[in-house]
Structure 1
Amino acid sequence: MNILKRITIVSSIAAASFCGYAYGQDFQWKEATSNGYTYRYVTNDPTAARYYKLKNGLTVILSPTKKDPRIQVYVATKAGSKTDPADHTGLAHYLEHMLFKGTDQFGSKDWSKEKPLLDRIDALYEQYNQTKDEAKRKEIYKEIDKVSGEAAKYAIANEYDKMMSGMGADGTNAFTSFEQTVYTEDIPANVVDKFLAVQAERFRQPVLRLFHTELEAVYEEKNRSLDDDGDKVFEVMFANLFPNNNYGKQTTIGTIEHLKNPSLKAIREYFNTYYVPNNMGVIMSGDFNPDEMIAKVDKAFSYMKPKTIPAYNIGQEKNISAPVVKEVVGPNPENIMLGFRFPGATTRDARMLNLVGNMLTNGQAGLIDLDLVKKQKLLSAYAFPYVLKDYSVLLLQGRPTEGQSLDEVRTLLLQEIDKLRKGEFSEDLIQSIVNNEKKSLIEKSEKYSSRASILMDEFTSDIDHRTSLEYIEEISKISKKDIMDFAAKYLQDNNYVAVYKRKGEDKGIVKVDKPTITPVSVNREDQSPFLKKIDAMPENSIAPVWLNYDKDIAKNKLGSIDVLSVKNTDNDLFRLYYHFDSGKWNNKILPLAAEYLQYLGTKDKSSETISKDFYRLASSFRVNAGNEETYVTLEGLNENFSQTLSLFEDLIKNCQADQAALDAYKTRLKKARANAKQNKGTIMAGLRSYAQYGPQNPFNNVLSDAELDALKAEDLIRVLHDLFSYQHKVLYYGPKTGNELTASLKPIHILPAKLKELQKTKTFVQIPTDNNKVLFAHYDMVQAEIFWVRNSDPYNVSITPTVSLFNNYFGGGMGSIVFQTIRESKALAYSTYSYFSLPGKKEDKDMIMAYVGTQADKFNESTTAMNELLNDLPKSEQLFETAKSGLRKTIASERITQDGIIFNYLRAQKLGNNSDIRKTVYETAPKLSFADIQSFHDKEMKGKNYTYCIVASQDKVNEAEMKKLGEVKKLNLTEIFGY
Structure 2
Amino acid sequence: MSKRAGLLLVLILLPLLAWAQKVEVREEVLPNGMKLLMVERHDSPTVACGWVAKVGSVNESPGITGISHLFEHMMFKGTKTIGTKDYEKDREILARQDAVRAEMEKEYSLLREKLRKGEISGSIYDPENATPRLKELKAELEKLYAQEKENIVKDELDQIYTREGASGLNAFTTEDQTVYFVTVPANKLELWFWLESDRLANPVFREFYSERDVVREERRLRVESTPLGKFEEQFDAMFWQSTPYHHPVIGWPADVESISRKQAEAYFGTYYAPNNITAVLVGDFDPEKALALARTYFGRIPRGPQDPPEVISEEIPQLAEKRFLAEADTNPEVQIRFHAVPFGHKDMYALQLAADLLNRRTGRLYKSLVEDKKVAVGEPYAQFRPMKYAGFFEVGAEVKEGVEPAAVEAALLAELDRLAKEPVGESELQKVKNQQLANSFRRLQSNFFLMLQLALYDSFGNWRFINEAPAKVQAVTAQDIQTVAARIFTKENRNVAIYTRKAGTAEDPELAALPSELKGMVKQQLAQIEKMKDAQKLGMAIAQMQQMAAKVPPQMKPAFDFLLKKMEQRLAQLQGEGKEE
1:684 to 507, 510, 514: 510
Quote the Cα distance in structure 1 between the aligned partners of 2:14 and 2:213.
29
Equivalent position SS for 1:302:
helix
Q: Which amino acid aligns with 1:449?
A: F
Specify the structure having the higher radius of gyration (Cα): 1
**Maintained 8 Å contact 1:145/1:212:** no
Equivalent position SS for 1:485:
helix
| 1:250-329 paired onto structure 2 within 5 Å | 250-307=247-304, 308-329=306-327
| 1:104-183 paired onto structure 2 within 5 Å | 104-132=80-108, 133=111, 134-135=130-131, 136-183=133-180
Equivalent position SS for 2:52:
strand
Match of 1:227 in 2: 225
| 1:360-371 paired onto structure 2 within 5 Å | 360-361=358-359, 363-371=360-368
Q: 1:244 to 1:106 in 2, by over 3 A?
A: same
Match of 1:452 in 2: 451
Q: Which amino acid aligns with 2:510?
A: M
Q: 1:257 to 1:841 in 2, by over 3 A?
A: closer
**Maintained 8 Å contact 1:60/1:281:** yes
Match of 1:397 in 2: 396
Q: Quote how far apart the aligned CAs of 1:699 are.
A: 4.9
Give the number of aligned pairs. Answer: 497
Equivalent position SS for 1:153:
helix
Equivalent position SS for 1:446:
coil
- String of CA shifts for 1:369-403, please: whole Å, max 9, x gaps: 33224434411311011110001111111111121
- TM-score, structure 1 length as denominator? 0.48
Q: Quote how far apart the aligned CAs of 1:702 are.
A: 8.3
**Maintained 8 Å contact 2:36/2:279:** yes
Q: 1:699 to 1:170 in 2, by over 3 A?
A: farther
Structure number having the greater helix percentage: 2
- TM-score, structure 2 length as denominator? 0.80
Quote the Cα distance in structure 1 between the aligned partners of 2:334 and 2:32.
48
| 1:869-880 paired onto structure 2 within 5 Å | none
Q: Quote how far apart the aligned CAs of 1:54 are.
A: 1.1
Quote the Cα distance in structure 1 between the aligned partners of 2:134 and 2:14.
41
Quote the Cα distance in structure 2 between the aligned partners of 1:71 and 1:54.
21
Match of 2:339 in 1: 341
| 1:857-936 paired onto structure 2 within 5 Å | none
Quote the Cα distance in structure 1 between the aligned partners of 2:516 and 2:480.
49
Quote the Cα distance in structure 2 between the aligned partners of 1:165 and 1:326.
47
What residue ranges of structure 2 are gaps of 5+ in the alignment?
Answer: 1-11, 112-129, 521-549, 567-581
Identity of aligned residues (%): 23
Match of 1:768 in 2: none
Quote the Cα distance in structure 1 between the aligned partners of 2:47 and 2:289.
14
Match of 2:547 in 1: none
**Maintained 8 Å contact 1:233/1:499:** no
Quote the Cα distance in structure 2 between the aligned partners of 1:137 and 1:73.
45
Q: Quote how far apart the aligned CAs of 1:232 are.
A: 3.3
Equivalent position SS for 1:368:
helix
**Maintained 8 Å contact 1:81/1:178:** yes
Segment of structure 1 superposing worse, 480-489 or 469-478: 469-478
Is the aligned partner of 1:494 residue 2:482? no
**Maintained 8 Å contact 1:175/1:181:** yes
**Maintained 8 Å contact 2:331/2:399:** no
Quote the Cα distance in structure 1 between the aligned partners of 2:393 and 2:70.
29
Q: Which amino acid aligns with 1:266?
A: Q
**Maintained 8 Å contact 2:340/2:390:** yes
Equivalent position SS for 2:152:
coil
Q: Which amino acid aligns with 2:414?
A: Q
Q: Which amino acid aligns with 2:152?
A: A
Q: Quote how far apart the aligned CAs of 1:86 are.
A: 1.4
Q: 1:167 to 1:173 in 2, by over 3 A?
A: same
Structure number having the greater strand percentage: 1
Q: Quote how far apart the aligned CAs of 1:463 are.
A: 2.9
**Maintained 8 Å contact 2:222/2:229:** no
Quote the Cα distance in structure 1 between the aligned partners of 2:468 and 2:262.
45
Q: Which amino acid aligns with 1:202?
A: R
Tell me: higher relative CO, structure 1 or 2? Use CA pairs within 8 A at least 6 residues apart. Answer: 2
Quote the Cα distance in structure 2 between the aligned partners of 1:852 and 1:429.
36
What residue ranges of structure 1 are gaps of 5+ in the alignment?
Answer: 1-8, 22-44, 506-673, 690-697, 704-836, 854-979
Q: 1:328 to 1:295 in 2, by over 3 A?
A: farther
**Maintained 8 Å contact 1:126/1:265:** no
**Maintained 8 Å contact 2:86/2:151:** yes
Q: 1:373 to 1:702 in 2, by over 3 A?
A: closer
- String of CA shifts for 1:331-353, please: whole Å, max 9, x gaps: 12121111111121021122322
Q: Which amino acid aligns with 1:353?
A: L
Match of 1:77 in 2: 53
Q: Which amino acid aligns with 1:332?
A: T
Quote the Cα distance in structure 2 between the aligned partners of 1:56 and 1:214.
31
1:354 to 352, 374, 379: 352
Quote the Cα distance in structure 1 between the aligned partners of 2:552 and 2:78.
38
Please, what is the CA RMSD of the aligned residues? 3.0
Match of 1:474 in 2: 472
Match of 1:427 in 2: 426
- String of CA shifts for 1:669-692, please: whole Å, max 9, x gaps: xxxxx99x44x4xx22445x6xxx
- String of CA shifts for 1:423-482, please: whole Å, max 9, x gaps: 1542322211222223122212211112112111101111351x4423222232322222
Q: 1:702 to 1:503 in 2, by over 3 A?
A: closer
